[in-house]
């Protein structure tokens, strides 16, 4: 079997091609479909979704010499669409970058992107896995990661939800994920390691 044809089948089935659109749009639109899993909790995202998709595509395509990073794209979108839920924006950005990293690997160069600037997309599965991974760690672990102890406790108690997460908690969660993936070079590794796990 031709490996190139197999990888093309897999990437196209996961990230469908849209007529008259580029693969950046395909990735962002596929990420948008992932955000819709929380649609009942994201009324402002639903109202602005087309504008957000187009704006994120423009930001990714823009060749302004700045690093294409989760944090920068999230900040740009949140500034422009301040009423849209932070959790929806982080998931749209982070899943889009994840899909672009995959396409760069299997379809060839799509856009310059460095995994080390990509945050882990947060959803209920990832937050459940994180709760499991930190449940037995001492509270002093919070200080080691440079986060608030109350955030560590909230993660352990599954009291952080991606649909209602705000910037400060998001940053703390990413710091923990960064600590857990420091030997893997990218926070995206946490997503690839855990996305298919089921709740215990």
The one-digit pLDDT tens for each residue of the chain (200 residues) are 777 777 777 777 789 888 899 999 999 999 999 999 999 999 999 999 999 999 999 999 998 888 999 999 999 999 999 999 999 999 999 999 999 999 999 888 889 999 999 999 999 999 999 999 999 989 898 998 899 999 999 999 999 999 999 999 999 999 999 999 999 989 999 999 998 876 55
Tokens of 199: 């709740």
**Closest of 97, 76, 91 to residue 33, by C-alpha:** 91
Tokens of 138: 């001492």
**Closest of 189, 151, 154 to residue 172, by C-alpha:** 151
What is the per-residue pLDDT across 144-174, written as a single tens digit (0 to 9) for each? 889 999 999 999 999 999 999 999 999 999 9
């Amino acid at each position: 079997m031709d490996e190139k044809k197999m990888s093309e089948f897999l990437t196209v089935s996961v990230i469908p091609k849209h007529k008259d659109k580029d693969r950046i749009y395909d990735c962002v639109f596929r990420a948008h479909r992932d955000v819709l899993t929380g649609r009942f909790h994201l009324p402002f995202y639903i109202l602005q979704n087309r504008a957000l998709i187009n704006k994120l595509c423009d930001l990714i395509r823009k060749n302004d010499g700045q690093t294409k990073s989760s944090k920068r794209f999230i900040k740009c979108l949140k500034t422009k669409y301040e009423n849209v839920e932070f959790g929806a924006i982080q998931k749209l950005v982070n899943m889009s970058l994840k899909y672009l990293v995959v396409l760069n690997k299997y379809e060839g160069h799509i856009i310059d992107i460095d995994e080390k600037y990509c945050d882990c997309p947060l959803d209920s599965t990832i937050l459940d896995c994180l709760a499991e991974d930190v449940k037995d760690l001492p509270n002093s672990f919070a200080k080691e990661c440079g986060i608030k102890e109350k955030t560590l406790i909230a993660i352990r108690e599954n009291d952080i939800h991606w649909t209602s997460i705000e910037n400060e908690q998001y940053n703390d969660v990413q710091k923990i994920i960064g600590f857990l993936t420091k030997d893997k070079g990218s926070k995206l590794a946490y997503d690839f390691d855990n996305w298919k796990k089921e709740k215990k």
